[in-house]
Amino acid sequence: MHLVIRKAFRRSASTLVPFLVATGLGGCVDTAPTPKTPREAAEATGRMFGAALNSAYLESDAVYAQLAATELDYVTPEWEMKWEPTETSPGVFNFGPADAVVGFAAQHEMRVKGHTLVWHYSLPTWVAQLATAAELRAAMTSHIQNVVGRYAGRITAWDVVNEPLTDTTPSTLRDTVFHKLLGDTYIDEAFQLAHNADPNALLFLNEANIEANAEKLEATVALVQRLLAANVPIHGVGFEMHVSTEVPPTGASLATALKRFTDLGLLVNLSELDVRVGGVDGDLPTKLKVQGRRYHELVAVCAQNPMCISITTWGVTDAHSWLDDPSMWSWAGQGPHYPLLWNADGTKKPAYDGTLQALLGQ
């Protein structure tokens, strides 16, 4: 099964979705020996399990690198492929850090999800300050052609457009430089550019909070329906899943939300899963047990949907999480958050066990 699915991911994206469904993903586990890692357990049902990897930590933290290499099979560069680090100045590309992450993945037979091509954050000033549609279209075309083109054939999926919608009521397209100058269809253009540059990559719209914000979920469904009606080459929707030990979402509400897109024939994934425990009362061991149950609940939802093809945690060990940046605490609650599967020293947490059991259908 594993080999067959690996080949599948090399198919052109347009034939992949029917293939994934035809192989009955999500229910059948191989008759091979019981998988021992999230990588093996996910691959047993034709999925991928991975993490956001940061080139600086791959270099400086041997525990982090060793766990990534042996326990995971899907890599999302946490920073290295964004517009700011890859094209800080117009037409001047720096792929060194991104090449390091892609090279690590290749060395350990891991697949890669590119992240992210068009986002209002981590955008170089020279882009944010462009004044005409023609200039921005030229910049976006060159950026996507160069970045996607460089890794064509080595990337399973791309987060093409990241977080396009607001968290307001109603949820609308953010007033970014892309929307201001190119209108709603900047999204259509970005997806078409990415598809032209790598026809075999699966192309995702990646969004935050759609697992917990009904308004935003409906706005995302409407956006995706418009893209599909316009024959835009979109293949899936990423649910970031930056959550806490408290609901929302429940497992049931997440399953319903995922199904809104898979019912449209799209793939889904959990793209940035972390479960924060900071800012919640209770002693740490108890909170980590609750966290383990939360990981089990949410990972099981993906494992039970044949069109949910991957789960990515936003980091590897608790030594390095964006949530432990104090500037996040007004939103995330007082840290430290201990949000991931392994302690900083690389020992497993209840979150690891909960994740593995969920992937095994236990």
Which residues contribute to the site for ligand G3I (CB under 6 A)? 54, 78-79, 82, 121-122, 162, 208, 240, 272, 322
Q: Name the residue number minimizing CB distance to ligand G3I.
A: 322
Query: Residue 45 or 176: which CB sits closer to ligand G3I?
Result: 176
Query: Residue 43 or 207: which CB sits closer to ligand G3I?
Result: 207
CA–CA gap between residue 5 and residue 20 (Å, rounded): 8
Query: Residue 71 or 240: which CB sits closer to ligand G3I?
Result: 240
In a 10 Å sphere around its CB, with 0-12 CB exposed, 13-18 middle and 19+ buried, how is residue 18 labelled?
Answer: exposed
Q: How far is the CB of 313 from ligand G3I (least distance, A)?
A: 11
The three-class DSSP label of residue 63 is helix
Q: How far is the CB of 283 from ligand G3I (least distance, A)?
A: 27
Q: Based on the residue annotation, tell me whether 163 is a catalytic residue of this protein.
A: yes
Q: How far is the CB of 335 from ligand G3I (least distance, A)?
A: 14
Torsion angle of alpha carbons 322, 324, 328, 329, nearest 10°? 160
Is the peptide bond prior to 248 cis by the omega test (within 30 degrees of 0)?
Answer: yes
Query: DSSP class of residue 119?
Result: -
Query: Residue 114 or 354: which CB sits closer to ligand G3I?
Result: 114
Query: Residue 123 or 290: which CB sits closer to ligand G3I?
Result: 123
In a 10 Å sphere around its CB, with 0-12 CB exposed, 13-18 middle and 19+ buried, how is residue 340 labelled?
Answer: buried
Following DSSP, what letter does each residue of 259-273 receive, concatenated? HHHHTTT-EEEEEEE
Query: Residue 36 or 121: which CB sits closer to ligand G3I?
Result: 121
Query: Residue 5 or 341: which CB sits closer to ligand G3I?
Result: 341
Catalytic residue among 189, 211, 272, 297: 272
Helix pair 96-107, 62-71: axis angle to 10 deg: 50
Contact 190, 145 (CB under 8 A): no
In a 10 Å sphere around its CB, with 0-12 CB exposed, 13-18 middle and 19+ buried, how is residue 197 labelled?
Answer: buried
CA–CA gap between residue 166 and residue 172 (Å, rounded): 6
Q: How far is the CB of 316 from ligand G3I (least distance, A)?
A: 12
For residue 145, the one-letter residue type is Q
Catalogue the E-assigned strands of the chain: 48-53, 74-77, 111-118, 157-162, 202-207, 236-239, 242-244, 267-276, 308-313
Torsion angle of alpha carbons 208, 211, 214, 216, nearest 10°? 20
Q: Based on the residue annotation, tell me whether 40 is a catalytic residue of this protein.
A: no
Catalytic residue among 80, 163, 207, 240: 163
The three-class DSSP label of residue 327 is helix
Kindly list the catalytic residues: 163, 272
